[in-house]
Amino acid sequence: MAAKKSQSLEGYEVLLCVTGGIACYKTADLTSKLVQAGAGVTVAMTDAAQEFIRPLTFQTLTGRRVFTTLWQSTEYYSSGHISLTEAADLMIVAPATANVLAKMATGMADDLVSTMILATTGSCPILAAPAMNTRMLSAPAVKANHATLKKWGIQFVGPAKGRLACGTIGEGRLAETDEILEAATELLLKKSPKAKVAPEIQADRKKFFQEMELFRKGLKKGRFSDSAKLIREDRER
């Protein structure tokens, strides 16, 4: 691929959907690299993904809240699954489970991640990085879903061949983080950034600046709110 992994992604917004495979831990590295490249990264996780890795990891790496449910957006008077997808320049699904590929190929929207994927239609490219056991990968249903999604314009990176977590050697490994970053960079740099940040994320930042101002004036003592604290820590890193 032509794109260089060191290229700046300043101004771009990435919506990273993490689904429940053993390779979830590698997505933390991808998140860190996207953030280091300058992208704003918002993470959404399925319930299964949270069995493998805690939202706190992504919250700390991105300096942003992590979205885990359809039902948490009311305090911002907007539908997170819509506003977050509208703001994104690229959606990445990594790792992409057999389950999420099936949902994508059949238009299912029964949780936050699958609803967001459906709501992304026409708004920005989707890059999927599948990872699963070799036998799962060779199942006719998975192959058919993969072919359907390719035909519909979903971009794929991997899966790679090698040693799988279950001990077998074969196809099904998550593509290397640098390879996913490179594919993402190439897709992002095809267009200028939308330069849009979802209201949910803006509200967190506004809260942070308001709290900072109160601290400066000596009007606030004690703890920052959780989101403001995260953003402050992120800035101090």
Q: Is 166 a catalytic residue?
A: yes
Asked if 115 is part of the footprint of ligand FMN (rule: CB under 6 A), the reply reads no
From 99, 115, 177, 227, residue interacting with ligand FMN (rule: CB under 6 A): 99
Question: What's the Rg (C-alpha) of the chain?
Answer: 18
User: Between 180 and 199, how does the x/- string for binding to ligand FMN read (CB under 6 A)?
Assistant: --------------------
Closest to ligand FMN by CB, 40 or 95: 95
Pick from 62, 71, 20, 67: nearest CA to 37 = 62
Residues facing 128 on adjacent strands: 93, 156
- Which of the residues 68 through 97 are near ligand FMN (CB under 6 A)? 97
Residue 131 within binding range of ligand FMN, rule CB under 6 A: yes
Residue at token pair 């703001």: 87
For residue 95, is the peptide bond before it cis, meaning its omega torsion is within 30 degrees of 0? yes
61, 105, 132, 175: which one binds ligand FMN (CB under 6 A): 132
**Helix boundaries (H) for 37-176:** 47-52, 55-62, 80-87, 98-106, 112-119, 134-137, 140-151
| Active centre residues (catalytic) | 166
Name the site residues for ligand FMN (rule: CB under 6 A).
19-23, 46, 48-49, 97-100, 131-132, 136
